[in-house]
Amino acid sequence: MHRLQILSKSVSLWISLGMSHHAAAFSYYAPFALVPLILISLGISSTFFGFEFVRNMFISWGAMFGPDLTSLISYAVQNLDVQVHSYDVPILAIAFFSVTGVAAINVLGYGFRHIWNIQENDLKSWLWQTFRSIFFIAILQIYVLAIISIEGVWAMLELENRLVPVLIWFFSISFFFFLLYRFLVAKAPSISGCLVGALTAGLLFVFAKNLVTLYLATKPALNIFGAAGLILVLLVWVYVIASVIYYGAIVASEFEKRKAMANI
C-alpha cells in the first residue's frame, strides 16, 4: 500500500509540476544531440569492437522503430564512419551539435532541479551544471561500451532464452538511470531514493520499449506519414523516455520525503 501511494502521488506530481513541458523541451534538443553522441560512440566503440560489429549493434537497436528507420540508421552510421576515419567533419557542425548535445543534458538537469526544488539560477550554478552534463556524456559512452560488450557476449553464446536479454536491459538501464539521478544534478536524493526511482523508471522503460515495438509491428505508422514518420516516431519515443525519466525522478523525491517523515 505504501508503494502504491508513492506511485499514485508521483503521477499527480508529474501532472501538477508540468513535466510534460519539460519532456517536450528535451524532445526538441535530443535529436540534435544524437548526432555527436552517435559519432563519439561509433568512434570509441569501433576501436574496441570493430566497425562492422558496432554498426550491426546500432542497427539492431533501431529495429524497434521499423525497417525504414533501420535502413536510415544503417546509412547514417556508414556516413559517420567515413567522417570518423577521414576527419572531414566540419568544425562548425561539430561545435553546433556538441553544444546542442550538452544543452539537451542541461534541459534534463533543469527538469530535475524543478522536481527536487533546487533554487540555483546564477551563472556559477549554470557552469557547474554544464560541467556535470559534459561529464555525464562521458559516463554515457562508458555505458554504451558496456552494453555492446554484454550483448556481444550474449550473441557469441548463441543462447535462445528471451527472458535474459530483457532482464539485462532492465538492470542496465536502471543502473544508468541511477547514475543520471545521482550525479547529473547537485543535491540529488539519497542513494536509496535514486535507486527506487531508477528501478521504477527502468521497469517503465522496458515496458514502453516493448509496447512501441509491438505497435510498430502491427501499425504502419511510418508508411502513413512517409519520411516524416521517421522523425515523428523518434520524437514521440524521446518524449516517452523523458517522461519516464522525470517520473522516476519524482518517485525518488517522493520516496525520500516519506522516508524522512517515517524517521521523525
Q: Running along the chain, 264 residues long, what does each successive block of 10 average in pLDDT?
A: 81 92 87 69 71 68 54 55 51 66 86 88 82 84 77 65 71 91 89 94 86 65 58 78 94 88 67
Q: What is the pLDDT of residue 125?
A: 82
Question: How far is CA 141 from its chain centroid?
Answer: 12
d(CA 16, CA 53): 45
Q: What is the pLDDT of residue 142?
A: 81
* Helices 228-263 & 19-49 angle (0-180, nearest 10): 110
Total domain count, the chain: 1
d(CA 73, CA 230): 11
d(CA 130, CA 137): 11
Q: Is the separation of the CB atoms in 63 and 54 below 8 Å?
A: no
DSSP structure string for 102-167: HHHHHHHHHHHHHHTT----SHHHHHHHHHHHHHHHHHHHHHHHHHHHHHHHHHHHT---SHHHHH
Find, among 104, 103, 98, 107, the residue nearest to 35 by Cα.
98
The domain in which residue 85 lies consists of 2-263
Find, among 90, 3, 1, 109, the residue nearest to 39 by Cα.
90
- The pTM of the full predicted model, rounded to 2 decimals, is 0.81
Q: What is the pLDDT of residue 97?
A: 64
Residues 6 or more apart whose CB falls under 8 angstroms from that of 217 comprise none
Q: What is the pLDDT of residue 1?
A: 53
Q: Is the separation of the CB atoms in 6 and 255 below 8 Å?
A: yes
